[in-house]
Amino acid sequence: MKTSLAALSFAALSAWAQTAIAPPQVGFIQDQLGSFRQISGLAGNFIMGAPAATSVISATFSGSFGLVKTNPAILVTDAEGHLVTSASAPSGPALFAFSANGQPALVYLISSQALLQWNGSAFVPIPLDSAAIAADTLWSIAAPDPDHAAFLVERRDGLWTVRVLLTTGEMDSQSALPGLKTPALMLANGDVVSTETQGLVISASDGSEVHLAAQLPRGFSLQQIGDGWLQLRDLSQHHDVAVRVLKNHEGLYALPAVSQ
């Protein structure tokens, strides 16, 4: 069959935009004031928007959905930061995971060691063998496929990936990640962003690595803030950094400060 193109037409860029041309969006960050704040722009050219939520303890954004932890609740937001649903949760921070297409997938509540799975409308508790993920520090969770949760754990002998079967909560497999240092974050595609002396390193599941030179702050955390974007959250000096992990566009960029 001969292939041909019909007339050009513009359509909505994403759920954010109603017109064909729209401001480019990075996503949402957890700012130093504890707000879940929209950020638009391009690499090296950011504009901070209005906060969508305040008193935030933990937060992440996939590009399509946001997951926010406040002291009494877990919030799910849409691409514009509007609340989709909320669920009560014990106080304290949480770890989040999105599916490969950016849908909410998993929430791990650190204080109660509870794993919750998003079923499309609510969070469902998953039985979890806590011994399976016993570790000095639990850094990150991911949803590598619909049947598994992956935990990035730091043990005395280094960093490990532990896969847990969601149907039983039992460990399915585990593998060491030799040479990788923390803080570290596992992405939905299986890549791991970890720390090295001279900066960050993105380790892909195919074994390739991309090194991003940077003078890292003394204490920081990593969290996803958009499609292809992470936030390096400075825990002391408030000099946050945007980490671009989009393949062939990797880079580090300073984030603008936010005012009261």
Give the footprint of other proteins on this chain (CB under 8 A): 1-14, 17, 19-25, 40-47, 238-239, 246, 249, 253-257, 259
| Min CB(2)–other proteins separation in Å | 6
Rounded to whole angstroms, how far apart are CA atoms 82 and 257? 23
Question: Please, which residue, 44 or 219, has the CB nearer to other proteins?
Answer: 44
Question: Please, which residue, 84 or 257, has the CB nearer to other proteins?
Answer: 257
| Min CB(42)–other proteins separation in Å | 5
Question: What does the DSSP assignment read for 45-95?
Answer: EEEEEEEEE-SEEEEEE-SS-EEEEESSEEEEE-TTS-EEEEEE--SS-EE
| Min CB(136)–other proteins separation in Å | 34
| Min CB(161)–other proteins separation in Å | 27
Angstrom distances, CA of residue 32 to CA of 38, 70, 148, 183: 13, 15, 33, 19
Question: Please, which residue, 15 or 124, has the CB nearer to other proteins?
Answer: 15
Tokens of 92: 């304290």
Question: Please, which residue, 5 or 131, has the CB nearer to other proteins?
Answer: 5
| Min CB(170)–other proteins separation in Å | 34
Rounded to whole angstroms, how far apart are CA atoms 37 and 81? 8
Question: Please, which residue, 49 or 66, has the CB nearer to other proteins?
Answer: 49
